[in-house]
A = this chain, B = another copy of it.
Amino acid sequence: MPEVVVYLLEGRSLEQKRGLVKDITQAVVKNAGTNADQVTVSLVETPRTSKAKGGVLFSEMAPR
C-alpha cells in the first residue's frame, strides 16, 4: 500500500523496467509516508496494436 499500476507499451528493456519500479517506489516512499516494502508496482504492458492516442493505434502511427 499504495499500489501503483502503470499502463505502457510493450518493449521496454529489463534495465528500463528495473529503474522504473525502483524510482517509482522511491517517489512513493518519499511523498506518501510509507516504507518500500508496502509498495507494489505492476507494469501492464500492451502491444502497439492494443493502445491508442488521439483515436489511432500506436501500431498505425508513423514511427517516432
Chain A residues within 8 Å of B, Cβ to Cβ: 1-9, 12, 14, 16-28, 30-33, 36-37, 39-46, 49-57, 59-60
Least CB distance from A6 to B in Å reads: 5
Give how many copies assemble into the complex.
6
Bound-state CA distance A2–B5 (Å) is 10
Bound-state CA distance A39–B9 (Å) is 13
Given A3-B3, A8-B2, A42-B44, the answer on whether A54 and B32 have CB atoms closer than 8 Å is no
Residue of A8, A20, A21 with most chain B CB atoms under a 10 A cut-off: A21
Decide: A37 and B54 in contact? CB cutoff 8 A.
yes
Specify which chain B residues have a CB less than 8 angstroms from the CB of A57 in the assembled complex.
14, 17-18, 21
